[in-house]
Structure 1
Amino acid sequence: IQGADINALEQKIQEHIGSGGDETGEDYGQGLMEINTFISKQECECLNESDDHPMNHCLVANGGYLQSDCDEQLILSVTFNQLVKIHSLKFKAPPQLGPKEIKIFINQPRTIDFDQAESMTSVQDLTLDPKDLEKGTPVNLRFVKFQNVQNIQIFVKNNQSGGEVTQLDYLGFIGSPILTTKMNDFKRVTGKKGESH
């Protein structure tokens, strides 16, 4: 965009953020939107993921699914490319294979392991309902606890059927970005020859 064309600017913004809803066209109101676009995929990792069905499959709608490998437990570590507020989580999974008990941690310096996940105090615990998993109904978080999130770690303790394999078709984050200036995005500007600073 060149110049001060307000209409062109608004059109460009709408192009990038859409109407405030997510890929399925849902509108969450209150300035909330699906914030998966702010995930820094190269900084994400998952412990106990299947080689054939890794975590990046469940971070996009209709992108396949995440499946556990050795047993039913998973630790998903998701890093955002800027600070975000997280209002709710959307888990979509087959009712019998989907996660059941979950512990959520935020802003950890590194990915926690399974022993830490069991023993550490979480920011919030959830018990997911099979009907919510089937429909992908958003599960509200204690919003005041998730106001300044750089990374979130989700410990899946078990699944709905108590079986060995946990499957997650989609994990959506609903919230809003905290508008900050990322200094890495700026390039050094040098003046013309002879200009003083």
Structure 2
Amino acid sequence: MAGNFKVLTEDAQFQAELNQAGGKLVVADFTSARCGPCQRIAPLFEEMAARFPNGMFLKIDVNQCAAAASSQGVSATPTFIFYRNKTKLDSLQGADPETLEARIRQHYGDGEGEEVEDSGVPGHIDLMPMINKAGCECLNESDDHPFTQALSSAGGYLESDTDEQLILYLSFNQAVKLHSMRIKGPAENGPKIMRLFINQPHTIDFDSAECANAVQELTLTTKDLDGELLPLKYVKLQNVMNLTIFVKNNQTDAETTHISYIQIIGSPVQTTKMSDFKRVTGKKGESH
């Protein structure tokens, strides 16, 4: 049995495991010993835990943990629910291993095992695992301090190259809602004015970023650069596949701009597909 696979037998264990998991992806299998499809997919679910070692896989019998199942709105078995930082990301009904594995891959991220920061915003998460790093791009980044260094709190930083301006293009692996963000940088040459654009077909150039209509413009203070929460226009950011950030200048008009860390906070767009609701009681007459 993989170390990241656990069988829960008491209601209290459920919240305890969510708390302990922190930023890791948690996949909870709400199952029943009387459900034929549940028993068929059970060994495959346990195998998936070994293939996704940076996630946590919980097997929860709805009869033994009735309160936990009820609190999560479980009405049929098997139901798989996905969490990160105690926030529900998605759910899936039915014993379809291919669909389950695809959904796990969708929410798992790049699997590098890096620590995911707590967003500090109830109901929303750090969207870092949903950023497709291979699809990201930065214009005017320094060769020594590229964009990817600002996507982690490990200690690196992004620095502009020939002047103070930057264009950051972040691609998400699924549609998301953007709630807020945090930017960290030095008081001298951290970013000051930033213009935000969404769902661009390609990375825009600097001239376009200057004159095009932005969904939001932010003016940061040195206090903001300590990682203060920057609210975004949530109602305008409900179905975002990519985010472009144009850094127009920095705090003191220094020659280059320096960004230590970027955190994007929000939640996945949860769409209900009828194909997700497969028969969960098995063959006709089979109980669950």
Q: Could you say which TM-score interval applies, normalised by the shorter chain?
A: 0.7 to 0.9
Shift of 1:65: 0.4
CA 25–175 in structure 1, closer or farther in 2 if over 3 Å, else same? closer
Q: How many residues align?
A: 178
Counterparts in 2 of 1:119-158, with a 5 A limit? 119-133=211-225, 135-158=226-249
Say if 2:31 is the partner of 1:5: yes
Amino acid at match of 2:177: K
Q: What is the aligned partner in structure 1 of residue 120 from structure 2?
A: 27
CA 9–86 in structure 1, closer or farther in 2 if over 3 Å, else same? farther
The 3-state SS of whatever aligns with 1:117 is helix
The 3-state SS of whatever aligns with 1:126 is strand
CA 147–25 in structure 1, closer or farther in 2 if over 3 Å, else same? closer
Q: How far apart, CA to CA, are the structure 2 residues paired with 1:26 and 1:108? A: 26
Q: How far apart, CA to CA, are the structure 2 residues paired with 1:26 and 1:36? A: 10
Shift of 1:89: 1.2
User: Which of these two proteins has the greater Rg computed from alpha carbons?
Assistant: 2
Structure 1: which 5+ runs fail to align? 183-197
The 3-state SS of whatever aligns with 1:116 is helix
Q: What is the aligned partner in structure 1 of residue 250 from structure 2?
A: 159
CA 174–53 in structure 1, closer or farther in 2 if over 3 Å, else same? same
Q: What is the aligned partner in structure 2 of residue 99 from structure 1?
A: 191
Q: How far apart, CA to CA, are the structure 1 residues paired with 2:272 and 2:151? A: 25
Amino acid at match of 1:100: K
Q: How far apart, CA to CA, are the structure 2 residues paired with 1:163 and 1:9? A: 55
Amino acid at match of 2:58: A
1:142-169, Cα deviation, whole Å (9 max, x unpaired): 1111110000000000000111110000
Say if 2:248 is the partner of 1:172: no
Q: How far apart, CA to CA, are the structure 2 residues paired with 1:41 and 1:49? A: 15
Shift of 1:181: 8.0
Aligned match for 1:108, one of 200, 218, 234: 200
The 3-state SS of whatever aligns with 2:153 is coil
Counterparts in 2 of 1:30-41, with a 5 A limit? 31-41=123-133
Q: How far apart, CA to CA, are the structure 2 residues paired with 1:50 and 1:150? A: 26
When the two chains are superposed, the root-mean-square deviation of aligned CA atoms in Å is 2.6
Q: How far apart, CA to CA, are the structure 1 residues paired with 2:187 and 2:86? A: 30
1:19-62, Cα deviation, whole Å (9 max, x unpaired): 34x84445311x11111110000000000000010000001112
Q: Where in structure 1 do 4 or more consecutive aligned residues deviate above 4 Å? A: 1-4
Amino acid at match of 2:255: E
* TM-score for the superposition, normalised by structure 2: 0.57
Q: Which has the higher contact order (CA 8 A, sep 6+)?
A: 1
CA 100–152 in structure 1, closer or farther in 2 if over 3 Å, else same? same
Contact persistence 1:82–1:180 (CA under 8 A): no
Q: What is the aligned partner in structure 2 of residue 195 from structure 1?
A: none
Q: How far apart, CA to CA, are the structure 1 residues paired with 2:258 and 2:179? A: 23
Shift of 1:119: 1.2
Say if 2:110 is the partner of 1:18: no
Q: How far apart, CA to CA, are the structure 1 residues paired with 2:224 and 2:151? A: 18
Amino acid at match of 2:192: K
The alignment-based identity, stated in percent, is: 48
Shift of 1:9: 4.5
Aligned match for 2:163, one of 37, 61, 71: 71
Shift of 1:96: 1.2
The 3-state SS of whatever aligns with 2:251 is coil
* TM-score for the superposition, normalised by structure 1: 0.82
